[in-house]
Amino acid sequence: MNKFYTTTAIDYVNGAPHIGHAYEKILTDVIFRHFTQRCDNAFFLTGTDEHGIKIQKTAAEKGITPKELCDKNAQMFTDAWKALGIDYNHFVRTTDDYHEKVVQKIFKKLVEKGDIYKHSYTGLYCSGCEAFLNEKDLTEDGLCPDHLKKPEVVSEENYFFKLSKYKDAIIKHIKQNPDFIVPAFRANEVLNQLENIEDISVSRAKSNVTWGIDVLDDPEQVIYVWIDALSNYITAIGYDPDGSSEQFKSLWPANVQVIGKDILKFHSIYWLAILMALELPLPEHILAHGWITIDETKMSKSLGNVISPTSVLESFELTQPDAFRYYMSTAAPCGKDGNYSDDDFKEKVNAHLANSMGNLLNRTLSMLVKYFDGDIKPEFKVNTELSELAEKTTKEVMHHFDYYEVQEAGLKIMSLVDAANKYITDSEPWALAKNGETDKCGQVLTSVLDVMCVVSSLIYPYCPNIAQDMAKQLSYDLSIKLQDLKADNIKVGHLIDKADIHPVFLRLDSELADKTKKKG
């Protein structure tokens, strides 16, 4: 691969981030970190969506300006992503000056091309969705199905984008590229939505909405949602209708754009049409992930079960986010819904990270020190069957990531850990040492430690801090590209002293981790 560009949806800053936002960012970060292990030019974009009537109203209620509200809430998102180890390259805000100026140029270009036109319109507007709805989209009681509120009848003269003009081209693209939408089963949902697609409003009258980007040459109109928010994916990397940057030329089209399933329509229909109108290449993949429930219940403010992204770290007194990252990114099969519960979190990370992976490394290194003073001797050859399994697993993990199957890849890594655990249990190196079969004992320990080098590379996207700790104890170079990863990573010579051995992850209920005083 010569480059990898990934994006997330940009979060609306009308409130604080929650665990659903965190799931998408962690999932994308794991994908991004994996592909940094396969190419040198990798770029990860995330950010916030900061215009619209909800921001305007909330700011007015708080007695502050919309920009002050955006500044305060955008900071909450960046703070949360820092705590969760989200390693993005750029954080775009739609109030950024460069973004606003390019959005105005994009809008003007599409007006001049005839793809945006002015039109008087009366429609049903949901302020929660910030969208005009069709009657067929409403519930039997005439309510917005997402917000369960009656949309208001709005009459305005707005600018409209000729979405219907690109209907056939979008249908053709989806049908000719069955892997464009991930998972593939969501493609039919989009094709059904395309059947009755209509042109969409892309501006609002300033008499109704003032907090937005002004339309050039028409000061009574502000650019509304779609041209503004969706364009962030190209403005943030240097797109400009008057001449784009070298960065844009090297990164676009995006390899994968990660979004929630609830906004798939906007990204697989509206966004594609805008790109077609701009005569730009289309993204290679749109990954629509599922939702995260809490204790099998949908998150709801009224139920009081909305969890902040960092509350799990605080609750379990975790100084690093790795356990939460691993749990969340493996919470659901590709595109399906997942669930969070405290009990399941504790059980899963204890089983996988502490008992299986961490304990295997710790006891193997301890035996190496006990029996061989921490030395790897030339006669300690690695087990061919185990090293071949490690190489095979690496290829399988890469294959899963090619299809953005993050949970599936994580389980494959753990299956390699399980195989190494079984090998050491079956081989009984402690018995070999006791019986004087030192070369065989050394071979077993070296074979397992060699596999743990591979595991540290594969688990790095999920658990970067744990992986780095593992690699340090193994004197292993984590910068090796996955396609170059082979067996024989453990070098002959002195590897480690007893004082340098420590658990890479403590059980959440261990006394060492000081979790005995945890609530409940």
Whether residue 490 is predicted with pLDDT greater than 70 in this model: the reply is yes
Whether residue 97 is predicted with pLDDT greater than 80 in this model: the reply is yes
Residue 332 to residue 348: CA distance in whole angstroms: 13
**pLDDT grade, residue 301 (50/70/90)?**
low
Q: What is the DSSP letter of 115?
A: S
Q: 99-108, 308-317, 461-470, 471-480: lowest mean pLDDT where? A: 308-317
The catalytic site residues sit at 18, 21, 126, 129, 144, 147, 298, 301
What confidence tens digit (pLDDT) does each residue in 440-465 have? 999 999 999 999 999 999 999 999 99
Which fold would CATH assign to domain 342-500? Isoleucyl-tRNA Synthetase; Domain 1 (1.10.730)
Average pLDDT over residues 232-253: 98
> CB burial class (10 A; 0-12, 13-18, 19+) of residue 137?
middle
What confidence tens digit (pLDDT) does each residue in 497-518 have? 999 999 999 999 865 544 434 4
Output the average pLDDT for the chain.
Answer: 94
What confidence tens digit (pLDDT) does each residue in 255-269 have? 999 999 999 999 999
Q: 117-126, 243-252, 274-283, 295-304: lowest mean pLDDT where? A: 295-304
3-state secondary structure 402-463: HCCCHHHHHHHHHHHHHHHHHHHHHHCHHHHHHCCCHHHHHHHHHHHHHHHHHHHHHHCCCC
The structure tokens 């067929």 sit at 136
Q: Give start and end residues of each alpha helix (H) in 17-117.
A: 19-36, 53-62, 66-83, 97-113
Residue 291 to residue 311: CA distance in whole angstroms: 19
Strands 286-289 and 256-260: parallel
76 alpha carbon, distance to own chain's centre: 18
**pLDDT grade, residue 302 (50/70/90)?**
low
Structural domain spans, the chain: 4-294, 342-500
The structure tokens 């939702």 sit at 291
What confidence tens digit (pLDDT) does each residue in 336-385 have? 999 999 999 999 999 999 999 999 999 999 999 999 999 999 999 999 99
* Segment (H or E) for 92: strand 90-93
What confidence tens digit (pLDDT) does each residue in 311-326 have? 999 999 999 999 999 9
**pLDDT grade, residue 399 (50/70/90)?**
very high
Contact 278, 106 (CB under 8 A): yes
Q: Give start and end residues of each alpha helix (H) in 87-176.
A: 97-113, 167-176
CA angle 266, 269, 274 (to 5 degrees): 90
CATH of 4-294, one of 1.20.1050.140, 3.40.50.620, 3.30.420.40, 3.30.565.10: 3.40.50.620
Whether residue 64 is predicted with pLDDT greater than 60 in this model: the reply is yes
**pLDDT grade, residue 303 (50/70/90)?**
low
pLDDT of residue 496: 98
